[in-house]
A and B are shown apart, each in its own frame.
Chain A
Amino acid sequence: MNQIRQLSVQWIWGLLFMLLASSAEAKILHEERSVYTRIIVQDSNRLRCLKFTLKRDDSTQTCINLNHPKQLVFSYTKMSLASLLLQPNPRRVLIIGLGGGTLPMALRDIAAEATIDTVEIDAAVVRVAKNYFGYVEDEKNRAITQDARVYGKRAALRGLEYDLIILDAFNGEYIPEHLMTVEFLQEMQALLSDGGVLVANTFANSELYDYESATYAAVFGEFLNFRSPATGNRIIIVPQARLTADQRSELSAEAMQARAEQLQTALEPYDVPITAYAKKLVWLSKRQPDWDIDAYPLTDQFSPANVLNSR
């Protein structure tokens, strides 16, 4: 019953989105076929979106509101920023997957001290983010055009460490399979500093959900499974991701609340409901797994993520 309700809510959202997207004002500003994907920049109703295909909505990577460019349009971007409750002053941030670059730009502003490295495989996406979405590189905010797996291995050899790692390379359509395996997550874990937080922005609407969950559980034990039933998004947040689950300190409601208050002013322009997120994270930390715990973790040897994602 609950599932049916969830589905119908998804439908309504989908319909609303289609209405918005197909309204008369929709205008394509830029279209190109890069080596990896088709890139479309579209304006409609003061909303500028980066898409990787024209038809399907779940290929929308990033949108910005042209009237309020700072305001984050998608809930998953906001949900990713809930990680700041666990790591309020990251010095070094690694983001895998650039999209329109709204996440690194927001973090550049909110955590002014942080150095942000964003790894993006497609040079064309970096160009489009700069030309249409206001992504700007500076000495503390740089884009690296490389495969994330290669970057991670090289970064480990150079002894780099990050306080916050955000995996944002997945969309509803295509999963880079070598970025969803136990081995990849272990490589990311090894790049984290003590107390470092790992965040993954993924989806929860296919058979892949169980396998993906099992993969994160195999590496990190427990994690905060922050789901948005309306959009099918889910954000995986692993606090103190270098430690084993029982070494991690418990999330206290008071501490989360205090951090939310500290962050509130900085997050206001981005429309992030951080106080609500603080409560949510504490609640999530007490939840039991809602996936099939017998599912196999995905590994470099066994990673049919795209086949699973299509069912």
Chain B
Amino acid sequence: MALLIHILAFCGGFVIMSMELLGGRILAPYFGSGVYVGGSIITVFMLSLSLGYLLGGRLSVNNPSLTRFAGIFALGAILLYPLILFAEPIMEFIFLRIEDPRYGSLVASAFLFILPTVILGMISPYSVRLLVTKVEESGKVAGTLYFVSTLGSAIGTLMTSFYFILWFEVNTVLTLLTLVLLVVAAVAVVAARR
């Protein structure tokens, strides 16, 4: 059970950073590759994660369960996948209305990435709630959890920038990330039933 939750947290971290890294490639055709594009993406991801932590913590107060935890991953997948279908029209819409590529890229990042990232941000605090049994262990549990999920983020960044972009198209990577979230959600549901 504890192992499963750690694996899920790892996958969450992996998906978040892989998505963030692809963000630059998704935005470049419309907003270029200026420093502000990276700035917009990081701002939106940090803001979304902070909101996700807040919401995840609140959610963990009422009837925490592995099934609900799985639900976070499934919802993340459902909100991530539309990037493949709607990124182009959304960016075109914003490009035509906002002349300055700084604000254009900021607004576009917000539309594209806020929803899935807020949801994925809920994973960490929720995992802590599921793992903590004694108050005196809470710091240790949280530490291990952050270790695992941030390690997932590091590996997600590395794999995406070194290999995935060489092996796959951007949309293929996004599809794979969606599948990872769905598979781990399914595994968690099955584990919760047993």
Is A26 an interface residue when CB atoms closer than 8 A count as contact?
no
Stretch at the interface among A13-21, A110-118, A146-154: A146-154
| Interface residues in A21-60 (C-beta closer than 8 Å to B) | 35-36
Q: Kindly state the separation between the CA atoms of A303 and B170 in the bound complex, as whole angstroms.
A: 9
Is B190 an interface residue when CB atoms closer than 8 A count as contact?
no
Stretch at the interface among A4-12, A175-183, A197-205, A247-255: A175-183
Is B33 an interface residue when CB atoms closer than 8 A count as contact?
yes
The reply to whether A35 and B170 contact each other, CB–CB distance below 8 Å, is no
Is A74 an interface residue when CB atoms closer than 8 A count as contact?
no
In terms of DSSP, what is the predominant structure of the interface of chain B?
A: helix
Query: Which of A149, A157, A307 meets B32, CB within 8 Å?
Result: A149
Chain A residue with minimal CB distance to B104? A150
Q: Kindly state the separation between the CA atoms of A146 and B100 in the bound complex, as whole angstroms.
A: 10
Is B45 an interface residue when CB atoms closer than 8 A count as contact?
no
Q: Kindly state the separation between the CA atoms of A302 and B168 in the bound complex, as whole angstroms.
A: 7
Question: In the complex where A153-B95, A307-B166 touch, is A183 in contact with B34 (Cβ < 8 A)?
Answer: no
Query: Which of A150, A181, A299 meets B31, CB within 8 Å?
Result: A150
Question: In the complex where A121-B34, A147-B34, A150-B101 touch, is A178 in contact with B169 (Cβ < 8 A)?
Answer: no
Is B139 an interface residue when CB atoms closer than 8 A count as contact?
no
Is B2 an interface residue when CB atoms closer than 8 A count as contact?
no
CB proximity of B19 to chain A, nearest CB, Å: 15
Is A88 an interface residue when CB atoms closer than 8 A count as contact?
no
Query: What residues of chain B lie closer than 8 Å to A157, measured between beta carbons?
Result: 96
Query: What residues of chain B lie closer than 8 Å to A35, measured between beta carbons?
Result: 35
Chain A residue with minimal CB distance to B166? A304
The reply to whether B32 and A121 contact each other, CB–CB distance below 8 Å, is yes
Query: What residues of chain A lie closer than 8 Å to B99, measured between beta carbons?
Result: 154
Chain A residue with minimal CB distance to B96? A157
The reply to whether A150 and B25 contact each other, CB–CB distance below 8 Å, is no
The reply to whether A147 and B29 contact each other, CB–CB distance below 8 Å, is no
The reply to whether B165 and A178 contact each other, CB–CB distance below 8 Å, is no
The reply to whether B28 and A178 contact each other, CB–CB distance below 8 Å, is yes
Query: Which of A147, A301, A302, A307 meets B33, CB within 8 Å?
Result: A147
Query: What residues of chain B lie closer than 8 Å to A277, measured between beta carbons?
Result: none
The reply to whether A178 and B33 contact each other, CB–CB distance below 8 Å, is yes
Q: Kindly state the separation between the CA atoms of A163 and B31 in the bound complex, as whole angstroms.
A: 25
The reply to whether A307 and B165 contact each other, CB–CB distance below 8 Å, is yes
CB proximity of B60 to chain A, nearest CB, Å: 38
Residue-by-residue, is B15-28 near A (CB-CB < 8 Å gives 1, otherwise 0)?
00000000001001
Query: What residues of chain B lie closer than 8 Å to A299, measured between beta carbons?
Result: 169
Q: Kindly state the separation between the CA atoms of A303 and B32 in the bound complex, as whole angstroms.
A: 14
Q: Kindly state the separation between the CA atoms of A75 and B30 in the bound complex, as whole angstroms.
A: 34
What residues of chain B have their CB less than 8 Å away from a CB belonging to chain A?
Answer: 25, 28-35, 95-96, 99, 101, 162, 165-166, 168-171
A-B contact pairs, 20 of them (CB 8 A): A35-B35, A121-B33, A146-B32, A146-B101, A147-B31, A147-B33, A148-B32, A149-B32, A149-B33, A150-B101, A154-B99, A178-B25, A178-B33, A181-B29, A183-B29, A184-B29, A301-B170, A303-B165, A304-B166, A307-B166
